[in-house]
């Protein structure tokens, strides 16, 4: 069955790229509503659906644009949290153009969602089953979807910085694996890139506390890494959020090699452009029990993540 939040929950922080204060509220929504963003600072603007075909090109984040031109950016971490906890319907109210970055991961969002609780709705859930391989490439980078009984993921990265290097991870995302394995992995960057990003109006809200900053063989952020392979885990977190823009749970294995937000969106566009590549599937209780949010409980979120919940 479909689910929504049992009650509203709020978050406050700053936008990673804008540096502007940001407050966001997740509110319950009726069955069939999906995930929709609402810009409360633009009362005349239309709601913006969290769907693949609302994504517009953007640097270093996922950005949605509504029919009237209103935008919301850096949505990937909250989308990953919703998918990873099994929330299918929600109204997300945002008082500016960018989702708050909090600690650079999805942990606080997950903590807030699970603290609010989920409510089951009297409406069946459908999933999107991938029927044949679909792939997009750009140089050495590629992203691929292949048929599977539930969401699986394999991701590889390769950086010249010794503290990152080559990393690869494969994960079965059934039964709460997102919460256990990925939600607390933070966005990251190289120190050499920070000045360039900021001169281009990006990462203005970035700090050593909401991103992991690498410099050659050193980790500059206090406390070091949360996982030895935190960068590839964060890339997987991003991919979970970007794949959630399919609009329903995906039954597929996602394979990414040096892939980013834009490539994952192009992959979804390629999937839906081929009617023979996918089909709607009714979720039986057994199938729903293998989706990413199944069986997740509030104690799974770390206590330190609760500090960012308003």
Distances (CA, A) of 37 to 33, 45, 46, 51, 52: 11, 11, 9, 10, 14
Catalytic-role residue among 17, 77, 234, 261: 261
Residue 255, token pair as written in the block: 């394979």
Distant-in-sequence, close-in-space partners of 223: CB < 8 Å, separation ≥ 6? none
Cα 50 from Cα 65, distance rounded (Å): 9
Q: How confident is the model at residue 148 (pLDDT cuts 50, 70, 90)?
A: very high
The domains of the chain, with CATH numbers, are 3-124 (3.30.230.20), 126-288 (3.30.1700.10)
Is 261 catalytic? The answer is: yes
pLDDT digits (tens, 9 = 90+) for 10-44: 999 998 877 789 999 999 999 999 999 999 999 88
pLDDT digits (tens, 9 = 90+) for 239-271: 999 999 999 999 999 999 999 999 999 999 999
Cβ-in-10-Å burial (0-12, 13-18, 19+) of 187 comes to: buried
Q: In 13-158, where does DSSP find H-type helix?
A: 76-85, 107-116
Distances (CA, A) of 25 to 2, 87, 88: 20, 14, 16
pLDDT value of residue 205: 74
pLDDT value of residue 271: 98
Main-chain dihedrals φ then ψ at residue 153, nearest 5 degrees: -145, 140
Q: How confident is the model at residue 303 (pLDDT cuts 50, 70, 90)?
A: very low
Kind of pairing, strands 126-130 and 250-257? Answer: parallel
pLDDT digits (tens, 9 = 90+) for 79-132: 999 999 999 999 999 999 999 999 999 999 999 999 999 999 999 999 999 999
Percent of the chain with pLDDT over 70: 94
Distant-in-sequence, close-in-space partners of 257: CB < 8 Å, separation ≥ 6? 140, 141, 142, 143, 155, 156
Residue 200, token pair as written in the block: 């281009």
* Average pLDDT of every residue of the chain: 92
Distances (CA, A) of 136 to 62, 120, 142: 18, 36, 6
């Amino acid at each position: 069955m479909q689910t929504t939040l049992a009650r509203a929950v709020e978050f406050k922080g700053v936008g990673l790229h804008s540096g502007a204060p940001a407050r966001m509220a997740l509110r319950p929504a009726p069955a069939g509503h999906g995930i929709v963003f609402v810009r409360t600072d633009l009362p005349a603007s239309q709601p913006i659906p969290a769907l693949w075909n609302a994504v517009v090109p953007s640097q270093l984040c996922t950005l949605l644009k509504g029919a009237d031109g209103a935008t919301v950016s850096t949505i990937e971490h909250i989308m990953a949290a919703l998918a990873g906890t099994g929330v299918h319907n929600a109204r997300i109210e945002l008082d500016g153009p960018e989702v708050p970055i909090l600690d650079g991961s999805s942990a606080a969002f997950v903590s807030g969602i699970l603290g609010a609780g989920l409510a089951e709705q009297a409406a069946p859930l459908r999933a999107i089953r991938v029927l044949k391989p679909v792939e997009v490439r750009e140089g050495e980078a590629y992203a691929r979807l292949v048929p599977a009984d539930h969401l699986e993921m394999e991701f590889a990265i390769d950086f010249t910085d010794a503290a990152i290097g080559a990393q690869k991870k494969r994960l079965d995302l059934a039964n709460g694996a997102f919460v256990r394995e990925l939600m607390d992995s933070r966005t990251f960057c190289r120190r050499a890139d920070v000045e360039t990003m900021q001169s281009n109006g990006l990462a203005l809200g970035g700090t050593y506390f909401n991103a992991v900053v690498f410099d050659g063989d050193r980790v500059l952020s206090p406390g070091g890494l949360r996982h030895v392979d935190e960068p590839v885990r964060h890339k997987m977190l991003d991919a979970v959020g970007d794949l959630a823009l399919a609009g329903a749970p995906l039954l597929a294995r996602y394979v990414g090699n040096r892939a980013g937000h834009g490539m994952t969106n192009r992959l979804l566009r390629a999937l839906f452009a081929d009617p023979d590549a996918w089909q709607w599937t009714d979720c039986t209780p057994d199938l729903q029990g293998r989706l990413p949010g199944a069986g997740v409980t509030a104690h799974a979120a770390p206590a330190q993540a609760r500090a960012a919940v308003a």
